[in-house]
Structure 1
């Protein structure tokens, strides 16, 4: 099932509207260290260590293994349940209960001939990108085809609001205790994310605390504190001749996903190594497997990549 879309590709040396400022040298890039894993997931520990001081952390590994969607929406591709199995989408279940739901999709046309492999050349090229809404059945058909046949484009169910889905599917995502009781109990929004790796969400920040849970496959998240992320964002925006102030970061659109800004943000965030030293730098990296949860405080900048094989799926709750 090939979804054709026009594509324009530039190499890094020919990016439009850029000027050399020297701000992208290796010495000025942020260094990252592994993010801490909480020793327990009690409400008191979460409030004192994470929610109140606004500090990110990984919840104890596998804390969300019992989330109904984890077992209903996905299944082991090889039929053998393990700690972090290669997953496939349970398309029959989703088609039965939500085929006609209108959902948000991201279509990315890739310059690489193999859309399942993320390469250095792919990172340094621009992708064509389009956001649109369509019936969930379209996405399910594409996912079925992608399991057996390499696709020239990628389709990603991105930031699909739970309220857009039928009640029977919404019931697969009960609100976690930490979301319901850590703050005021106000759930701002709940969103689902599903695709075949590599998936990508560029550097951005959220206006509310975020509990991010991995349902299938693996994802890697890089995080920067508010001031550090603003500095990276501002440097990239100035490099492409745009405003890098806080007002520019408040409203983000398709420029995050294509063009020079995407390429430069990817370089700034992802081309630095991870060090285990406690003084490695101001950035953090979190690697999430099935059932793992990550708390991202309000205002913390983060970028997310889906990696590995099979299907990657996530859900997040924005809350206060």
Structure 2
């Protein structure tokens, strides 16, 4: 969709770039020289080009300090603060090996799951994990509940009196795409809408979300119907992006390979599990496949306080890397 002359602007000399991409396989996303509305409008939003804002542009968002303990070896959630809003219902993605499901639970449940996933149990497992069986009342039942949580049950070593067995839950819980407008006012105040969103374009927000989960996290290749400002609050995420026509080609190739019939517009759970998930991941993250596309794949690495602009229609996939908690927030422009 972009003319060749526009692509020449993608890495202007006055801009920097940062990424862990290799030159032969991916291109680095351009970093704007400053975070002013005028620069953003003229070099990113207007020409519809992915860009990174200067490092740590969003470091002062209250959520960065209030939600995360970032001065520790491994970033963790500040449970005591977030627990004030424990009754808030949030959307969760629960995965265990090849199983995947979406559900809605309280923020308290999510906090307990995060705590459980980083803990080991010798005698009494956490009620949210090993007790998650038919008849349990700790949380609402869902399809395939045993498939998700029974793997967290404590196993017994040969000599349990001398060497009590230790296990950690294998299920992973990701608070994904929780609308900011659905959160209590206190949490909403922690992620105020940036001026770049309020003063660019129509100055209106189509929607906004928060994302919280322990690394590794993964969002398959997809596209959004609106321009997107994606901001990292904690941890590290790597984003790979391709132009709209390249993404459509990759998606069609995957559907043909797996003999699927999914729509590239209406995406469901099929992209989060099974053959489609594996195929999409391979096409965008396997460097050998990236070379076969004969089209650029852009990559950006975001740390706490960094922001990435993703234009409308650009296909992208996101990975949370490293260890510890990752947190992100995004706003879709009207």
TM-score, normalization by structure 1: 0.78
Aligned match of 1:123? none
SS in 2 for 1:140: helix
Aligned match of 1:107? 94
Q: Show structure 2 runs of 5+ residues with no match.
A: 1-23, 121-167
Q: CA deviation at 1:190?
A: 1.1
SS in 2 for 1:92: helix
Kept after mapping to 2: 8 A contact 1:77/1:88: no
Aligned match of 2:240? 222
SS in 1 for 2:190: coil
C-alpha distance in 2 between matches for 1:163 and 1:76: 26
Aligned match of 1:66? 60
Kept after mapping to 1: 8 A contact 2:29/2:298: yes
Q: Per-residue displacement from partner, 1:247-300 (whole Å, max 9, x unpaired)? A: x1110000010111101001101011799xxxx951100000010000000000
Aligned match of 1:297? 311
CA RMSD of aligned residues (A): 1.8
C-alpha distance in 2 between matches for 1:264 and 1:282: 19
* 2:102 pairs with 1:131: yes
Kept after mapping to 1: 8 A contact 2:177/2:210: yes
State the aligned residue count: 261
SS in 2 for 1:260: helix
Q: CA deviation at 1:232?
A: 0.5
C-alpha distance in 2 between matches for 1:304 and 1:193: 12
* 2:163 pairs with 1:148: no
Aligned match of 1:231? 249
Aligned match of 2:77? 89
C-alpha distance in 2 between matches for 1:294 and 1:274: 24
Kept after mapping to 2: 8 A contact 1:139/1:157: yes
Kept after mapping to 1: 8 A contact 2:239/2:299: yes
Q: Per-residue displacement from partner, 1:211-261 (whole Å, max 9, x unpaired)? A: 0000000000000010011110110011111347xxx11100000101111
Kept after mapping to 2: 8 A contact 1:68/1:172: yes
Alignment of 1:231-270 (within 5 A): 231-243=249-261, 248-270=263-285
Match of 1:307 among 321, 327, 332: 321
SS in 1 for 2:240: strand
Q: CA deviation at 1:147?
A: 2.8
* Higher Rg of the two aligned structures: 2
Q: Show structure 1 runs of 5+ residues with no match.
A: 1-29, 79-84, 111-126
Aligned match of 2:200? 182
* 2:184 pairs with 1:173: no
C-alpha distance in 2 between matches for 1:57 and 1:162: 24
TM-score, normalization by structure 2: 0.75
Aligned match of 2:26? 32
- C-alpha distance 139-304 of structure 1, shift in aligned 2 (>3 A): same
C-alpha distance in 2 between matches for 1:86 and 1:292: 19
C-alpha distance in 2 between matches for 1:40 and 1:319: 20
